[in-house]
Structure 1
């Protein structure tokens, strides 16, 4: 954007290029239901009132009037304007430019890409909800939007205006009332389109009732009533919403539509929630909680600056958004409200982290949420699959730190497996299918299912018919190490340590052959260990390979290369870990190398072959070469000789 300097005169500023494109999508209406613009404006007004009441409690010197906080809807049918006004916290000029003047402060390009790919109007609504641009829904119904605001405690106000054509104006105003007023200059309506006449009283009443009845502040509108015969019409101010705190009502008195609209209010999402969690805590510390499991992941789920979701109220007084003390990070996608009865109204985030009662509430909320997921898995598998697809990666983070709930998390865990290419499995299912005599739960980690399935490490397991869990999330590298066991069985990586899948009968038959191979290959193994000393700590014969010439494995207690890279990316000093090169004694390349060594082949040529053998093993498991240019040159030279 241009022109961030403060001035008393009106300035015309330009939207960013991507923001202009997004605004055009809004102006030309990507929504199937335009009524939601009013919900968004009322929701913003409600948030402003919450923030003002909290600010007045924290700052006793703040000169504000909180005696009659409310939202007002004003209609001028002749001028075709609709105004949503609040006397809340308001905004400074800088906040107007930063918050209102910029659409979707981050991720706009990603939003545009997804919107262009989506031909479904309902899906478009969900995408918009993920980016927090609800204010701009006003341009679906308005040719021009004006905003006048004054921040509580400041003397001057700011006026913002745009017609959605790529620019907006900002100017200082001296006489703005505290709070924010958004005035929409409505587009012309079709004569037959009474449903979208937003100057009609019954239309506004119906929208407020449907979307905003639960708002804790009164939503008022001045209505006109016919006078007695021959008398002038009269006007009266009416409150349009019931203002009942949804979380305080018994569950059997709330219908699903009310839950869904409340969820959209607190989450700024456009899709219905996947599941509702309504609970009440009684005893020494009373509270009510109304939580929601979303139906899709927000785009900031893995962003450090992402919203945490749960709001804290005390005796129905809003205290704070994103209350981290109430929900662990791995459940950051949970949205909703917790209303505590016995906390101080000016409690801080720092005090909350240490508050014993809050810790008790947190434990109960976590157990309830995880119990709900477990119930979905048992009773509503389609909902569970949706939840796990969207949030499984976050839930697995809990296996690392939340030892108290680890058993429940392992119970709801879902992972891909070689047992079924289409359907994932849980650990209980894996254990139930384990072969007679199998002691460990085998797993493999990698960037993708295809990479893992094509890895040399899989060959013996595929040949012997052993099931392997296929773990492709970065967090998988960490939690399997931290958890270690399930149901008394060790979680064992197929890329670590020695692998022996032979039965007792097979071991007896194979031992003599293995001893012969160890003797036959002893010289080659010693020589390779020296030639590749900078890359590997040992070279040995493999029992896990059937078709590949070689693979690279780690010792049983070594960290994996992926985990090593993750720690380094986080700034941790991690010593480089050398791995083990395993050879397939039955592969022609390995037998050929042994014979060439025995026959006194060129040392340089043999060394280059050793490098190629090691490099191919790295690439086969999806690893990275230390010197790709050298590997390519040696390979090109060898190929040239074959022509």
Structure 2
């Protein structure tokens, strides 16, 4: 046993303490995943060594046979997982085993409820990795040496999984990492060869490196020819218990669904099943194999556009890099998977990837694969697609502006709430909408609001309900920005019902249009009286025929910024254009008729201002002077009660 030096005791990062406690108490029903996570880490270490060896052949130290060993000791109640991969330096051990450097940690922890089943699902979305060892072990020892480092520069890390860990310098002949789990009382089932073998085959059969376990031990004693006890060889024999073939290189016909599922969990460190996947091999001028997965749950850092993302990149089956983000556009950043190609060089770097024309070709092909996968899911399984849309729909809405060449495909994948559905579910596609358009309808109508109720109850929808014209109800924060990038779909232009003059085209008859013009002329006098009263608040006053129940509404100019976007920009401290809305009056509403007949100019002014403030509230806006509105309303109520 070598002497340890430079030993010190350090405290875990606060988030690690919380995560360890939650995992130990929430994942008791999924405890066997610890082996999958530790084997995945060992596999990653072997892949990183193989990549580094492309430019540094001597880093193999004469041992290029990469493998993972699993041993156990029933008497000592230990399980050991050992690899001869890249290994870690002292600082890397502190960084990787003492902290969680994953973005979204704070958000993850804030979502914890204390409910074990719900917390288990949340931990699954976050990924558990090395810390899963403490689900079954009350003490974990890690012995590791970085490839290329001296034998005396190995590191011993040890912890009871509570508030602190110790770290010391030690000796280790072979490079790589050995993890020793000291099993808790009651977890002895894992110090069993049959149990460990079954877990490897269940969770890690797809690992591309051999996972070796000791063969069943023969009888310890045997008589030789002279009757003496023969000594059985003390050298254990090991055999591979997994296929040790990269899953994506195998034919689709020989890969089971459970194999695909477990491979997803291996590359994503998520233990929820994926919604769907697409496995393809392409030969010709562009040669590549791709295995792309659609997760069921959004990660916590989904909205951080700077967070690490992308596919695992292999070149000729040699691992090159994690999270290669050059192969999919940003609006598809939720996709997980592997790309293995022969069209790139083994010494490729992130900088080289940005300049290689083959990367652009692969990006185009993979983007098409993902969009086709989503289209197929939408067609074949509406329930699963609804799950996808709830988790990732807002990210996909970035697509039309970022990827013009695929705009039509992306628009077909979008789902919206509408006046047709009668609920807040976003289940209406643009193709559904067009199929239900009224005869003579030329536009796709929509309204943008902060929430579903505000959108559903917008006064601008009144004429559309009367005419039974469907309107899309958009309530996501990205919606107004997105619609500003869109012009048409399938030959039908988009129209915000809160902007510009209302023109229903051929849906309205010539008699209706003529009647509207005559009615508008009758209110010319009223409009001229209102204009000076609201001159500071509005750009114009006019008669409208978009209202059937409300007395008035506010309308924006065709190119004015919408209310939702104004709120977002103001909240971000950005300046917004100084524009004024148009005040539109319903000529048939009793309040407008009464206002037209009001002889007292002061009272007329107060009533006009009340109607304007009400229209602003109905549009989801905020009053500039709420107290003045309340005072006017109270005065009116007192007059009515007198």
- Taking structure 2 as the reference length, the TM-score comes to 0.88
String of CA shifts for 1:533-556, please: whole Å, max 9, x gaps. Answer: xx4322222222223333222112
SS in 2 for 1:378: helix
- Structure 1: how far apart are the matches of 2:73 and 2:28? 25
Determine the structure 1 residue equivalent to 2:227. none
- Structure 2: how far apart are the matches of 1:621 and 1:94? 57
Tell me whether 1:465 sits opposite 2:468 in the alignment: yes
Tell me whether 1:300 sits opposite 2:301 in the alignment: yes
Deviation at 1:28, TM superposition (A): 3.0
- Structure 1: how far apart are the matches of 2:211 and 2:377? 37
Q: How many pairs align?
A: 620
Deviation at 1:311, TM superposition (A): 1.0
Tell me whether 1:495 sits opposite 2:518 in the alignment: no
String of CA shifts for 1:585-625, please: whole Å, max 9, x gaps. Answer: 444554555555x42327xx93x655544333222122234
Match of 1:540 among 518, 539, 542: 542
Counterpart contact for 1:370–1:409, Cα < 8 Å? yes
Counterpart contact for 1:264–1:272, Cα < 8 Å? yes
Q: 1:258 to 1:14 in 2, by over 3 A?
A: closer
Match of 1:528 among 501, 519, 533: 533
Determine the structure 2 residue equivalent to 1:130. 125
Q: 1:266 to 1:636 in 2, by over 3 A?
A: farther
Determine the structure 1 residue equivalent to 2:166. 170
- Structure 1: how far apart are the matches of 2:184 and 2:231? 30
Match of 1:41 among 20, 38, 43: 38
Tell me whether 1:322 sits opposite 2:304 in the alignment: no
Determine the structure 2 residue equivalent to 1:193. none
Deviation at 1:131, TM superposition (A): 1.4
Tell me whether 1:13 sits opposite 2:11 in the alignment: yes
Q: 1:229 to 1:125 in 2, by over 3 A?
A: same
Deviation at 1:629, TM superposition (A): 5.9
Determine the structure 1 residue equivalent to 2:178. 181
- Structure 1: how far apart are the matches of 2:32 and 2:194? 13
Determine the structure 2 residue equivalent to 1:358. 359
Counterpart contact for 1:496–1:556, Cα < 8 Å? yes
String of CA shifts for 1:480-539, please: whole Å, max 9, x gaps. Answer: 23221112111101110111444322222333222112x231322321342x2xx43222
Match of 1:52 among 37, 49, 57: 49
Deviation at 1:258, TM superposition (A): 0.9
Match of 1:229 among 216, 222, 225: 222
String of CA shifts for 1:108-154, please: whole Å, max 9, x gaps. Answer: 5544565536564xx65442122122322212211112223344455
- Structure 2: how far apart are the matches of 1:622 and 1:509? 31
Tell me whether 1:208 sits opposite 2:200 in the alignment: yes
Determine the structure 1 residue equivalent to 2:280. 279
- Structure 1: how far apart are the matches of 2:52 and 2:639? 79
- Structure 1: how far apart are the matches of 2:160 and 2:197? 27
Determine the structure 2 residue equivalent to 1:619. 617
Gaps of 5+ in 1: 1-6, 191-195
Counterpart contact for 1:209–1:240, Cα < 8 Å? yes
Deviation at 1:39, TM superposition (A): 0.3
- Structure 1: how far apart are the matches of 2:525 and 2:364? 61
- Structure 1: how far apart are the matches of 2:511 and 2:114? 58
CA RMSD of aligned residues (A): 2.9
- Taking structure 1 as the reference length, the TM-score comes to 0.88
- Structure 2: how far apart are the matches of 1:431 and 1:361? 34
Q: 1:508 to 1:287 in 2, by over 3 A?
A: same
Match of 2:27 among 30, 33, 38: 30
Q: 1:351 to 1:563 in 2, by over 3 A?
A: farther
Deviation at 1:275, TM superposition (A): 1.3
- Structure 2: how far apart are the matches of 1:44 and 1:522? 74
SS in 1 for 2:245: coil
Counterpart contact for 1:71–1:87, Cα < 8 Å? yes
Tell me whether 1:507 sits opposite 2:504 in the alignment: no
- Structure 2: how far apart are the matches of 1:561 and 1:439? 25
String of CA shifts for 1:7-48, please: whole Å, max 9, x gaps. Answer: 9342241552x6434322322352423211000001111112
SS in 2 for 1:10: strand
Deviation at 1:410, TM superposition (A): 2.1
Counterpart contact for 2:89–2:154, Cα < 8 Å? yes
SS in 2 for 1:116: coil
- Structure 1: how far apart are the matches of 2:116 and 2:79? 31
Counterpart contact for 1:294–1:334, Cα < 8 Å? yes
Determine the structure 2 residue equivalent to 1:218. 210
Counterpart contact for 1:160–1:168, Cα < 8 Å? no
Tell me whether 1:481 sits opposite 2:484 in the alignment: yes
Counterpart contact for 1:214–1:242, Cα < 8 Å? yes
Larger CA deviation: 97-106 vs 446-455 = 97-106
Q: 1:148 to 1:615 in 2, by over 3 A?
A: farther
